[in-house]
């Protein structure tokens, strides 16, 4: 019980720290929420009245305490841009980012782990050099440039995939939202034409995000495998006559999977919050584009709410990776 209480307290303090950082940064940047709400033509008297209504004339500590109380009740304020509650807007756009990031991490982890294992086992050989070059390119080339080149080649020239957006206009209102994930909702509704359209739109940005995460995951998997392949238990297994494939996949990778869980979890969180440029290039109506548009329009309630959701995702995925640690490695219990 003491360990559980300590864990919950740490989680709450982390979340409150995230809340404090996002709030105070949002207050010190040179953006006036009252001016953003009323417009440039508002008089000083109207601006003063709006600031008083919003509570902006109170001390920052009082404003922060009030903000924490509202957030704890699920009230992130109202968006100036859409005039909707921020939480309602986030609930509308977040499934699009979740779908894109999930497809990206499936590609990144599904290919990055085997490639990293392959490179680690064949250290110094052609396969190792090839995987390292792939990772270097994934790190070095800006993802927005890859997105633009991908659209020019695979959409404009070859016509292999659909263009920007999440689905063709013809199917935009044919799928009833249930989960917010278009592929899932279209399959549940039996709208297979719409499903194929959604998949065609998802394919290119998901592959690009997958390649971006693949570069990191394959590199870290390679490092973990190099460490494990040099351990004494691998030498002992070979001395016993175990096959190389069994040593690699049943023993070395199993031990490497413990730190690899955190790598994949943080990569997934990075895709959920770092797909802003990808969503902008592909006109993907997700959380990244929502936060960007809100910032450009000085909609600080939406910016703070979106940032808080992203930070909460990081905290939740770290929590899940810690729990996975306990399942994979009995020593951490």
Q: What domains appear along the chain, each with residue ranges and CATH number?
A: 2-72 (no CATH), 86-332 (1.10.3720.10)
CA atoms within 13 A on the CB side of 157: 7
Q: Whole-angstrom Cα distance, residue 179 to residue 46?
A: 42
Q: Encoding tokens for residue 67?
A: 């903000």
Say yes or no to pLDDT of 303 above 70.
yes
Q: Whole-angstrom Cα distance, residue 102 to residue 302?
A: 23
Q: Encoding tokens for residue 34?
A: 């009252």
Say yes or no to pLDDT of 273 above 80.
no
What are the backbone angles phi and psi of residue 212, rounded to the nearest 5°? -60, -45
pLDDT band for 43, please (50, 70, 90 cuts).
confident
Q: What is the pLDDT of residues 114-133, one digit of tens each?
A: 999 998 888 888 888 888 89
Section 237-257 average pLDDT: 84
Residues in the chain: 333
Count of C-beta atoms within a 10 Å radius of residue 248: 20
| Predicted pLDDT of residue 221 | 92
| Predicted pLDDT of residue 36 | 67
Check if the beta carbon of residue 261 is closer than 8 Å to that of residue 320: no
Least confident of 85-89, 107-111, 182-186, 243-247: 243-247
| Predicted pLDDT of residue 306 | 86
**Prediction pTM value:** 0.84
Q: What is the pLDDT of residues 70-100, one digit of tens each?
A: 888 888 888 877 888 888 899 888 999 999 9
Q: Which of 45-49, 150-154, 172-176 has the highest mean pLDDT?
A: 150-154
Q: Encoding tokens for residue 311?
A: 């930070």
Say yes or no to pLDDT of 7 above 90.
no
Check if the beta carbon of residue 285 is closer than 8 Å to that of residue 93: yes
| Predicted pLDDT of residue 111 | 92
Say yes or no to pLDDT of 298 above 80.
no
What are the backbone angles phi and psi of residue 78, rounded to the nearest 5°? -110, 140
| Predicted pLDDT of residue 274 | 62
Give, in order, the Cα–Cα distances in Å from 326 to each of 10, 12, 231, 332, 333.
Answer: 18, 21, 22, 6, 6
Q: What is the pLDDT of residues 193-218, one digit of tens each?
A: 989 999 999 999 999 989 989 989 99
| Predicted pLDDT of residue 332 | 65
| Predicted pLDDT of residue 331 | 67
Q: Which of 91-95, 236-240, 255-259, 292-296 has the highest mean pLDDT?
A: 91-95
Q: What is the pLDDT of residues 220-243, one digit of tens each?
A: 999 998 888 888 888 888 888 888
């Amino acid at each position: 019980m003491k360990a559980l209480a300590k864990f919950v307290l740490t989680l709450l303090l982390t979340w409150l720290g995230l809340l404090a950082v996002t709030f105070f940064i949002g207050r010190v940047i040179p953006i006036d929420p009252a001016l953003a709400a009323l417009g440039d033509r508002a008089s000083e008297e109207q601006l003063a009245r709006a600031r008083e209504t919003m509570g902006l004339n109170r001390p920052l500590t009082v404003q922060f305490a009030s903000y924490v109380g509202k957030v704890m009740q699920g009230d992130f304020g109202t968006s100036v841009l859409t005039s909707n509650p921020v939480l309602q807007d986030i609930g509308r756009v977040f499934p699009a980012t979740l779908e894109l990031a999930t497809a990206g991490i499936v590609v990144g982890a599904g290919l990055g782990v085997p490639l990293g294992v392959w490179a680690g086992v064949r250290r110094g050989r052609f396969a190792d050099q090839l995987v390292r070059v792939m990772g270097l390119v994934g790190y070095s080339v800006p993802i927005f440039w890859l997105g633009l080149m991908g659209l020019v080649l695979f959409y404009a020239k070859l016509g292999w995939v659909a263009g920007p957006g999440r689905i063709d206009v013809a199917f935009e209102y044919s799928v009833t939202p249930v989960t917010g994930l278009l592929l899932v909702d279209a399959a549940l509704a039996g709208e297979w034409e719409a499903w194929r359209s959604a998949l065609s739109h998802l394919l290119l940005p998901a592959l690009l995000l997958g390649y971006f995460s693949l570069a990191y995951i394959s590199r870290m998997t390679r490092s973990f495998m190099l460490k494990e392949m040099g351990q004494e238990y691998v030498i002992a297994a070979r001395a016993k006559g175990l096959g190389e494939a069994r040593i690699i996949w049943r023993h070395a990778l199993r031990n490497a999977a413990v730190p690899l869980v955190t790598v994949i979890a943080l990569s997934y969180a990075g895709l959920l919050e770092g797909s802003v440029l990808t969503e902008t290039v592909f006109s993907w109506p997700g959380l990244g584009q929502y936060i960007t548009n809100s910032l450009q329009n000085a909609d600080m309630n939406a910016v703070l709410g979106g940032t808080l959701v992203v930070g909460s995702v990081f905290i939740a995925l770290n929590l899940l990776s810690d729990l996975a640690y306990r399942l994979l490695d009995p020593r951490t219990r």
